[in-house]
Amino acid sequence: MARVYNFSPGPAVLPLEVLQQAREELIDWHGSGMSVMEMSHRGKEFVGIAAKAEADLRELLAIPADYKVLFLQGGATLQFAMVPMNLLRGKTKADYIYTGEWSKKAIAEAKRFCSVNIAASGEASKFTGIPPQTAWKLDPDAAYVHYTPNETIGGVEFHAVPETGEIPLVADMSSTILSRPIDVSRFALIYAGAQKNIAPAGLTIVIVREDLIGQTIEGTPQMLDYKVHADSDSMSNTPPVYAWYMAGLTFAWLKRQGGLKAMAAVNKRKADKLYAGIAASGGFYRSPIDPACRSWMNIPFTLADPKLDEPFLKEAEAAGLVQLKGHRSVGGMRASLYNAMPEAGVDALIQFMQQFQKKKG
């Protein structure tokens, strides 16, 4: 068996130990005689798996008791709609921070439900930076402030949580959740598609302060009402049982790694190394991103000569380093270094980049 180093932005690499455990348990989960895929979501086995996953996630993120944790479907994209449908609560306006492709999509969807105030935009810097909070124009009547802590495509990341006072703060943490400790009490709602830092695709995690839910806009389908999911432990219909189980394996793995403080130290080290490798190339490779908001998770870089892009990708793949092509809207390369990317993978990438430069530079 030869595992490659997979730098995909998502669905992304999962911890090898998690995959091995899933393989061990695949056809007979703990003597039940069946796979988790084949279990009733209302049976005691799966209810136990689900509860353990939630308990471990609560422990990892130190989620306060007045927050609900929901295991949903529809991807982070459905949250672009569910957030306004649930959190407008009679108001007509919401603030959005526009930092790249994913916040753009969140904004477009929110416009179907309310008047969107772009309180800050990274457009002037072509989304290679984030405007300082002192320049934001927050609306005191906004129902909430929405931002994207990590822009998966552009590679800009907030390294501090914005201050929004009494106005509820909503975060699309799809590509940064569990990469470091956060103070959940600073947020009204956090959502994340699981397919980057948690589990296979098909699961979306929502962490929401309990007092904010139950006031959906008129006509909201019950499946899009957080309260319906909160009141049924995310089992108002059949949940994505296998992805939920896999998420649980990842949470347990994170605890064994020493929790999020330990993950943050490794993640920072991995990212620092790659940025340093790019900087040391004397311009052969370049990071377009403002050093103050460089992502730890998704690192875009370009080659000074774009004619070398194709050979770079081809030779990287031959060396077992895959999925490095940048998003079509940005070009160049992008290395995603989620929790499950081993440090050795980053070392191998840097070494490959140096050798490639020596050959072609």
Compute the chain's Rg from CA coordinates. Answer: 21
Which CB, 193 or 248, lies closer to ligand PMP?
193
Dihedral angle over CA of 155, 161, 162, 164, nearest 10: 140
CA distances (Å), 6 to each of 135, 199, 264, in order?
38, 15, 20
Residues between 175 and 214 with contacts to ligand PMP, criterion CB under 6 A: 175, 193
Told to check if 122 binds ligand PMP by CB under 6 A, we report no
Q: Which of 68, 104, 196, 270 is catalytic?
A: 196
Record the tokens describing residue 206, joined without a space.
């929502």
Which CB, 174 or 357, lies closer to ligand PMP?
174
* Sequential DSSP letters for 101-132: HHHHHHHHHHTTTSEEEEEEE-GGGTTSS---
Which CB, 63 or 76, lies closer to ligand PMP?
76
Record the tokens describing residue 57, joined without a space.
């996630």
Told to check if 281 binds ligand PMP by CB under 6 A, we report no
Q: Which stretch binds ligand PMP (CB under 6 A): 169-177, 251-259, 285-293, 337-345?
A: 169-177
Which CB, 72 or 303, lies closer to ligand PMP?
72
Q: Which of 172, 208, 239, 260 binds ligand PMP (CB under 6 A)?
A: 172
Quickly count: other Cβ atoms within 10 Å of residue 26's Cβ.
11
- Give yes or no: 172 in active site: yes
CA–CA separation, 224 and 216 (whole Å): 9
Residues near ligand PMP (CB under 6 A), total: 11
Q: Which of 21, 32, 73, 77 binds ligand PMP (CB under 6 A)?
A: 77
* Phi, then psi, of 137 in degrees rounded to 5: -115, 80
Told to check if 220 binds ligand PMP by CB under 6 A, we report no
Q: How far is the CB of 66 from ligand PMP (least distance, A)?
A: 26
Told to check if 168 binds ligand PMP by CB under 6 A, we report no
Which CB, 100 or 129, lies closer to ligand PMP?
100
| Residue 11 one-letter amino acid | P
List CB contacts of 337: < 8 A, sequence separation 6 or more.
7, 267, 270, 271, 274, 296, 297, 298, 299, 345, 346
Q: Which residue is nearest to ligand PMP (CB)?
A: 75
Question: According to the 3-state scheme, what is the secondary structure of 177-204?
Answer: CCCCCCCHHHCCEEEEECCCCCCCCCCE
Q: CB of 146 within 8 A of CB of 110? A: yes
CA–CA separation, 131 and 229 (whole Å): 36
Q: Which stretch binds ligand PMP (CB under 6 A): 121-129, 170-178, 282-290, 321-329?
A: 170-178
Residues between 126 and 165 with contacts to ligand PMP, criterion CB under 6 A: 148, 152
Q: How far is the CB of 269 from ligand PMP (least distance, A)?
A: 23
- Give yes or no: 102 in active site: yes
Which CB, 47 or 78, lies closer to ligand PMP?
78
Q: What element of type H or E holds 80? A: helix 75-87
CA atoms within 13 A on the CB side of 17: 14
Told to check if 76 binds ligand PMP by CB under 6 A, we report yes
Told to check if 10 binds ligand PMP by CB under 6 A, we report yes
For the chain, the farthest-separated pair of C-alpha atoms sits apart, in whole angstroms, at 63
User: Site mask, ligand PMP, residues 32-71, x = CB under 6 A?
Assistant: ----------------------------------------
Enumerate the active-site residues.
102, 172, 196
- The residues binding ligand PMP (CB under 6 A) are 10, 75-77, 102, 148, 152, 172, 174-175, 193
